[in-house]
Amino acid sequence: MRIFTPATSANLGPGFDSLGLALKLYNEVSITEQKISSINIIGEGSDKIALKKNNTFVNIFNETIALLNGKNLNYKFNFVNNIPFSRGLGSSSSVIVGAIAAAYHMAGFKVDRSVILDRALKYENHPDNISPAVWGGFTANIVSNSSVYTQKCDIDPNLKAVVVIPDEPMNTKQSRGKLPLNYTMSECVSNLSHAAYLSSCFIKKDYDNLRVASIDMMHEERRMSALPELFRVREIAYANGALMSTLSGSGSSFLNLTYQDRAKNLAEILEKEFPKFKVKILDIDNDGFSIKS
């Protein structure tokens, strides 16, 4: 079997730990049963010996499949990793969701997306990345009694993501450590209202109001201060046709949404201004993970 799991962009400005979007950039894993376990990695992490000795995908896959059928079998895992590590594009969520869904499929169980998402929550306690990896599109999420409740909508194919990927990673735990323990009432109300309005804009496909809807007062600029060039990325993006420009997850990547006819020009301008950064034009994934036998 092969499983494809999309990259994701979380928070989307004011939707801290609750809103996310899936992107057409995939990690692919091929799994076949064999007598001796083996791991092969192409792409991200191929130079890291530790990923062959202690691989998170393999560990979660084995834990899940043992829980489902009590068997401890050996498998050959071939990884094609396209989602960059520690760049705010959901690489860890891709691993978690992919491993669990693959285990259900290999064990002969129904791959129920709601079940997969709830189990993924045991490994990643914020749903903003794991939910779009499961469902695709735009997702708004809450957690109640260890279950994720999601509202999802598809994104118009005319909307493209121009993603700026700096050469410097950002550690999610360290990035979260920059945030204050307490917020003012004004900051909380601002984020609540903007996150609600942002969700409505996506659901109604009112993309022209994404810029005002995506204003954040809780986390984004505090995290961006670790890489000041990101302020300039946002400024240039908005000056050249971006509908929305937000830090992707905890960074360091920056998500810029724009219409299809503006995407190439915006990407070229950003590439020229930031030659050390990677710039990718990506479609929005509306389907979430997929499995091919």
- Binding site as annotated, residues for ATP: 84-94
Here the tokens at position 70 are 């009590």
Which residue type, as a one-letter code, is found at position 80? V
Rounded to the nearest 5 degrees, what angle is found at the Cα of 57, between the Cα atoms of 51 and 62?
A: 115
Residue 204, C-beta contacts closer than 8 angstroms, at least 6 positions apart: none
Cis peptide before 30 (omega within 30 of 0): no
Identify whether the C-beta of residue 226 lies closer than 8 Å to the C-beta of residue 241: no
What CA–CA distance (Å, rounded) separates 184 from 189?
Answer: 9
Query: What's the length of the chain?
Result: 293
Residues in contact with 287: Cβ distance below 8 Å, sequence separation at least 6, in sequence order: 22, 136
Binding site: residue ranges?
84-94
Query: Residue 105 has which token pair?
Result: 């499929």
Cα-based torsion angle of the residue sequence 121, 126, 132, 134 in order, rounded to the nearest 10 degrees: 0
- Distance set, CA 23 to CA 107, 133, 187, 233, 263 (Å): 28, 9, 29, 20, 15
Which three-class secondary structure state does DSSP give residue 42? strand
**Structural tokens at position 160:** 């493209």
Quickly list DSSP for 210-256: HHHHT--SSSHHHHHTTSTHHHHHHHHHHHTT-SEEEE-TTSS-EEE
